[in-house]
Amino acid sequence: MKNLIAPHGSDTLKPLFVGDSSERNSLTEATKEMPKLLLNSAAAANAVMLGAGYFTPLNGFMDKKNSINVAENMVTEDGLFWPVPIINLSKNVDGISVGDDVALLDPNVDGTPVLAIQKISAIEKLTDNEIKHIASKIFGTTDMEHPGVANFLSLGNYMISGSIKVLNYSYFPSEFPGTFATAPEIRTMLSNAGWTTTVAFQTRNPMHRAHEELCKMALDRIKADGVLIHMTLGKLKAGDIPGDIRNAAIAKMVELYFPENTVIISGFGFDMLYAGPREALLHAVFRQNAGCTHLIVGRDHAGVGDYYGPFEAQEIFESDVVKNSLKLKIFSADHTAYSKKLNQVVMMRDVKDHDKDDFVLLSGTKVREMLSNGEELPKEFARKEVAEILMKYYPVSYTHLTLPTKA
């Protein structure tokens, strides 16, 4: 895999999953005598990403000083570029102390089994204002209507830092078999495919026609070997389409509408932050760790509502700290729309002879709204076979609909 892009901040990946089965079994047995800490979903997702090597070169959860420095300046105390604090916040630290090996319990699996072991290096209580300050830097707002902010401010004020050893990948391998993959596994896939130039596409939703064409445009313009369609498999916000439905829809689209051997579909175990520009940077970091050379960053990447400008997530990559730190490059996508003149999806900046009446505007939000209202999806929005899969998810009758013809 020497022909792949280097991981971020390291010559080699540093997954924190305990790969040796005998050591893992021994540690799992030892957790029976350890103090326990029930994680929240955000901390559990961080542990999974650390275990899977996506957060290379971090060795665990950040302390207060590093968290604030990352929030304010996007670098750790050691000078490592990192866009979002990777932290373990809790409301309750009863029974654990600095120096302890603590069994971290998984809140997302029945019975709350042990997910990881953390060596506690510090337990620091932050004030409400300090928590809000960190949130303001990550999300650009402290508005509680922002789902990422509301979740972050609910996690607790105790910051528990220290290195971790990860014992499993939570529910992701069992619920998403054949889709969930670690960073080393994806690097192996890319190497086996013979790809050295790979463009990643981040999605939390099924891919409509604009997404499909964006991937094809990136393939062509970058001259990439292939596309990694990389799905968020963790917790989403209300209204987002569940992972298994999204997976089936994307797999069908790739099967029927992409050239053979140009797409790898995979997913990662992380909860969406909805942090817009900062989250776009985090996506870039862990796609580089997965071996990708490029990331598609489109309109309002990882955004929600009207909290971010349409291209803020692209503009942040122009900052010096980012340009001097990341090897991965972005493919900047403009507004995409279906051209009535050309009968195809285009980036609007590429068709100077069009006016607004020549376009059908496409968005994942519009697709979800139409499905929720029992409306048919026109061919400009969705492939016929994809629409069929999505319609099965929504609890309304579609017997009256005429599906778009294959185009």
Cβ count near 60 (within 10 Å): 24
In this prediction, residue 192 carries a pLDDT of 97
In this prediction, residue 57 carries a pLDDT of 98
- Of 40, 108, 168, 204, which residue is the catalytic one? 204
Sequential pLDDT tens for the chain (407 residues): 668 999 999 999 999 999 999 999 999 999 999 999 999 999 999 999 999 999 999 999 999 999 999 999 999 999 999 999 999 999 999 999 999 999 999 999 999 999 999 999 999 999 999 999 999 999 999 999 999 999 999 999 999 999 999 999 999 999 899 999 999 999 999 999 999 999 999 988 788 888 899 999 999 999 999 999 999 888 766 666 777 788 889 999 999 999 999 999 999 999 889 999 999 999 999 999 999 999 999 988 999 999 999 999 999 999 999 999 999 999 999 888 888 899 888 888 889 999 989 988 867 677 778 877 888 888 888 888 988 888 877 754 443 444 444 44
In this prediction, residue 110 carries a pLDDT of 97
* Domain positions in the chain: 21-170
In this prediction, residue 399 carries a pLDDT of 39
In this prediction, residue 366 carries a pLDDT of 76
Report yes or no: 336 and 362 within 8 Å, Cβ to Cβ: yes
Catalytic-residue membership of 24: no
Of 74, 77, 57, which is closest to residue 11 (Cα–Cα)? 57
Catalytic-residue membership of 204: yes
Three-class secondary structure assignment of the chain:
CCCCCCCCCCCCCCCCECCCHHHHHHHHHHHHHCCEEECCHHHHHHHHHHHCCCCCCCCEECCHHHHHHHHHHCECCCCCECCCCCCCEECCCCCCCCCCEEEEECCCCCCCCEEEEEECCEEEECCHHHHHHHHHHHHCCCCCCCHHHHHHCCCCCEEEEEEEEECCCCCHHHHCCCCECCHHHHHHHHHHHCCCCEEEEEECCCCCHHHHHHHHHHHHHHCCCEEEEEEECCCCCCCCCCHHHHHHHHHHHHHHHCCCCCEEEEEECCCCCCCCHHHHHHHHHHHHHCCCCEEEECCCCCCCCCCCCCCHHHHHHHCHHHHCCCCCEEEECCCEEEECCCCEEEEHHHCCCCCHHHEEECCHHHHHHHHHCCCCCCCCCCCHHHHHHHHHHCCCCCCCCCCCCCC
- Of 46, 88, 108, 205, which residue is the catalytic one? 205
In this prediction, residue 97 carries a pLDDT of 98
In this prediction, residue 377 carries a pLDDT of 82
User: What are φ and ψ of residue 11, in 5° steps?
Assistant: -80, -25
Return d(Cα 249, Cα 345) in angstroms, integer: 19
The answer for residues whose C-beta is within 8 angstroms of residue 358's C-beta and 6 or more apart is 339, 340, 341, 351
Return d(Cα 62, Cα 21) in angstroms, integer: 27
The pair of structure tokens assigned to 216 is 């094809």
CATH, domain range 21-170: 3.10.400.10
The answer for residues whose C-beta is within 8 angstroms of residue 264's C-beta and 6 or more apart is 186, 189, 190, 193, 226, 227, 228, 229
